[in-house]
Chain A
């Protein structure tokens, strides 16, 4: 455990530039939106759009982070892999620091925005704001982790290919494999019996926001959240969870057995 914590401390330092970059980028976008909005006199709308955009980008944060940190380890695989620690331990340390960085960036952006919304925006009630935030948290983190594990899986495949051929070819092959796997996965999950065994444990989420509608009335933007009752299935969540775990350990196996320095 001590070894893992020390490793994680190193990961924080290694990945710090990504965190700072993201913070600056997000702040830049929000501030930019504010000033642009002020010029055309619609700062609330632009801020909101910038916020939604930032959240969208933020789903990709973990993937960017992992790409950065894994690429820098790739230059020194002899160092990264020369350890008695399991590959799972090495990767979890990266995933963990990535999630922490992501959460901090998220919280900072979120609190800055909520401060702004509460003060300046009168077309949302507090309930709606909390709804937006709660939902974005769930969607962003769930999506980010799923994407991150997928990235790790295909990165290991890429690394395995790159033992035999150059990076460009490895990338093309990996990307093709990614598309094919995605397509096959889509087919499998929509197959009748798979649907039957995974579609269970429905959770009704009332009043969930599925979209926004902007209207221009009386020189003011009006935003309405379109709400409808949605149903989530625990079964689908479990299915994705199992697939991520399989991908994660497959990645570990590849790095352990197939990747050479």
Chain B
């Protein structure tokens, strides 16, 4: 589904990713974890076709990634930037006009679930509610690949919980692959299928989370502490 082959990414002389090989399969909720600056966001941007690898190949569904991959990848940025003159409804309708796989009914359902009102202007929303809008716009698409960059960062537990619930309720794992970056693993450890750990641009582990619990009799947090030690 997503395949990175010998991918290296440099920004100027700074190396962000080094020789990454990664295959992620369909129907999984996968966590990409690591410290700040370890290369998580870069990985997501490369898969979204918004950044370009210095060398190596990236494919999504067998298709070589360019910026046009946006038609099968729904990407949520960690940045809190949206067209602030839009209302929630405007934002949903705009997203629907730009992506053929956008399911308006589902989007309104997520909107209600997130307790947002269609007439609210984005510029009047709290940070937590703006994040909820981003979730509505990202999960409203029936895209085969959903990429979410730090969807929980800087949000209070209530919002984080509603996002986790939203993920479980509205992602269709029969058809979609979800890749989430986070450094708050506790938030998502119960909903992940797989975990990919990254450090200084290297992938250092890729496992099924229940296998880690079963084989190591360890919690994911303990396991991570161990591999990062």
The yes or no verdict on A and B being binding partners is yes
Q: Which of chain B's residues have a CB closer than 8 A to the CB of A203?
A: none
Which of A7, A14, A260 has the most chain B CB atoms inside 10 A of its CB? A260
* B 13-63 contacts with A by CB, 8 A: 45, 48, 50-52
Assess the A84–B97 pair: CB atoms within 8 A: no
For the complex, is B68 an interface residue (Cβ under 8 Å from A)? yes
Assess the A14–B85 pair: CB atoms within 8 A: yes
Q: Is the interface of B mostly helix, strand, loop or mixed?
A: loop
Closest-CB distance, A159 to chain B (whole angstroms): 13
Closest-CB distance, B123 to chain A (whole angstroms): 13
Q: Which of chain A's residues have a CB closer than 8 A to the CB of B11?
A: 163
Chain A 63-100 interface mask (CB, 8 Å, partner B; 1/0): 00000000000011111011111000000000000000
For the complex, is B77 an interface residue (Cβ under 8 Å from A)? yes
Q: Which of B79, B83, B97 contacts A6 (CB 8 A)?
A: B97
- Evaluate whether A2 and B97 lie within 8 angstroms (CB atoms) in the complex, with A84-B68, A164-B12, A261-B51 already known: yes
For the complex, is B174 an interface residue (Cβ under 8 Å from A)? no
Assess the B98–A78 pair: CB atoms within 8 A: no
Size category of the B interface is 20 to 34
Assess the B50–A261 pair: CB atoms within 8 A: yes
Chain A 1-39 interface mask (CB, 8 Å, partner B; 1/0): 011011100100110000000000000000000000000
Could you write out 26 A-B pairs with CB less than 8 Å apart? A2-B97, A3-B98, A6-B94, A7-B97, A10-B83, A13-B83, A75-B81, A76-B81, A76-B82, A77-B50, A78-B45, A78-B81, A79-B83, A81-B67, A82-B48, A82-B50, A82-B75, A82-B77, A84-B68, A84-B71, A84-B98, A85-B98, A163-B11, A257-B52, A261-B50, A261-B51
